[in-house]
Amino acid sequence: MFLLTSLKSQTKVAAWRVVVRTLKVAVVGAGGGIGQPLSLLLRRCPGIDELALHDLTEMKGIAADLSHVSQTGNVVGFTGEQELEPAVSGADVVVVAAGMPRLPGMQRDHLMAANGNVAVKVATAVSNASPGALLAFITNPVNMIVPTAAEVLRAHGTFDPRRLFGITTLDVVRSKKFIGDSMNISPDEVNIPVIGGHAGITILPLISQCQPRYRRDLQEIQKLTNRIQEAGTEVVNAKAGKGSATLSMAYAAATFVDSLLRAIGGQEELVECAFVASELTDAPFFASPLNLGKDGIKRYMPLPQMSDYEKEALEKLLPILRQNADEGVNFARTFLSGQSRAPVPAALPLTTN
């Protein structure tokens, strides 16, 4: 029985490989602490015919290195701002890992001043060279970066809310890991939606909806929720200012991109949480479970049931998300008007979560 099931599974995978073996994925910021391991993990994803790697630093060596991995598909390197549009041209998926890392004590305004330009320039390049691409941002602060990118796409007449994502998969990955450890089960057995945003208290794991059920008292649930919300800071502090969550973020981003590719390839019933333009709440951008399809978001899943504690937490995070959205839109409008342009970092090697 197991052998038969395994063979059926292999047949499905093999058939899927054939169907989607013409896709192009572009990684912007591919030379950094997230970009490199993300690019390596993407080499294992079936369906990528071309993996385009872009950064401000020289990418020929990294592209050559990854091209020796024994997987089908080509790897091409692109360097500098002048090669950003060629890198994303014709891409089916563009994933953005570029940006300055968050350091201990850094406020989101400082991070936005450095990384907001990334959103503007990538959204502009995608509008010009691949307006039909699924565009997914890792770059922080995601709660502001995604509204910034949306406004730039809107200004170019290419905004499609189904195709723009802020990758919040790391919040789900951390939730599954922490809950699995607490329950002494494999994280793969844990299913939990994480809604809201991608920073601090805007991250809301719906532990009441965890499967299998997480049977702990409210104090333990609050403690676990806080750990999930502050997990990024936990890593930043552990690295003592020398970095942030790079490897776990690369793993999470690869998981999300793989789901996008499978959805493009026609696989049904794929559900991932992501930060997107949304009408589920009065916040214009909101992370929630999404049914993915060939064109991006196929269906916004209804908000899951919540405990009283989670309902209260939701009410507290919504004003923050509304403010973040306003700040992101204003950043884009100011940049596009030419009134103020924040300095672009000399290199865009890393982002933070």
Tokens read off for 323: 């403010």
* 145 belongs to an annotated ligand binding site: no
The β-bridge relationship of strands 23-28 and 48-55 is parallel
Annotated binding residue 226: no
Residue 341: C-alpha distances to residues 29, 108, 335, 337 (Å): 20, 17, 6, 9
**By 3-state DSSP, what share of the chain in percent is helix, strand and coil, each rounded to 5?**
50, 20, 35
| Cβ–Cβ under 8 Å, residues 231 and 238 | no
Task: Flag whether 30 is marked binding.
Answer: yes
Question: Is residue 306 marked as binding?
Answer: no
Annotation-wise, does 35 bind a ligand?
Answer: yes
The answer to whether 55 is annotated as binding is yes
Which residue among 54, 68, 110, 198 is the active-site one?
A: 198
Q: Known binder of ligand: residue 333?
A: no
Query: CA 148 to CA 350: how far, in whole Å?
Result: 19
- 155 annotated as ligand-binding: no
29 has binding-site annotation? yes
> Catalytic annotation on 198?
yes
Is 139 known to sit in a ligand binding site?
yes
Residue 115 among known ligand-binding residues: yes
Q: Which amino acid does the sequence have at 148? A: T
Sign, CA dihedral 12-51-245-197, equals: negative
Peptide bond into 141 cis (omega under 30): yes
Q: Is residue 174 part of an annotated ligand binding site? A: yes
The structure tokens 């912007």 sit at: 28
Amino acid at position 126, single letter: V
- Residues 28 and 34 sit within 8 Å (Cβ to Cβ): no
Q: Does 108 carry a binding-site annotation?
A: yes
Going by the annotation, the residues of the binding site are 29-35, 55, 102, 108, 115, 138-140, 174, 249
Going by the annotation, the residues of the binding site for substrate are 102, 108, 140, 174
Going by the annotation, the residues of the binding site for NAD(+) are 29-35, 55, 115, 138-140, 249
Residues annotated as catalytic are 198
